[in-house]
Amino acid sequence: MKTRKMVTYFNRKDMVSFGNYLLSEKRKSRIEENHNLQKEAGGTPLPVDEAAEMVYQADVENWISDQKNNG
């Protein structure tokens, strides 16, 4: 079975908005929350500051979700 890839286009305004999301306290809180959950589960997550230096698929999904919820 072939899988189809969805193509999504973002304009400059979207890219600036996403960049601002990457620098936001909301994202940092989500990373800290995930870090704590991984630790509680017995994992060895990256330190929060180190994890915040990378961009994840979850960041894109969270930003898209936030954009939909905030109109």
- On the question of pLDDT at 2 being above 80, the answer is no
Collect all residues with Cβ–Cβ distance below 8 Å to 17 and sequence separation of at least 6: 63, 67
The pLDDT score that the predictor gives to residue 53 is 96
- Concatenating the DSSP letter of every residue in the chain gives -PPPPPP----HHHHHHHHHHHTSHHHHHHHHHHHHHHHHTT--PPPHHHHHTS--HHHHHHHHHHHHHT-
Collect all residues with Cβ–Cβ distance below 8 Å to 4 and sequence separation of at least 6: none
pLDDT confidence band for 71 (50 / 70 / 90): low
Chain segment 8-56, per-residue pLDDT in tens: 889 999 999 999 999 999 999 999 999 999 999 999 999 999 999 999 9
* 65 vs 71: CA distance, rounded Å: 10
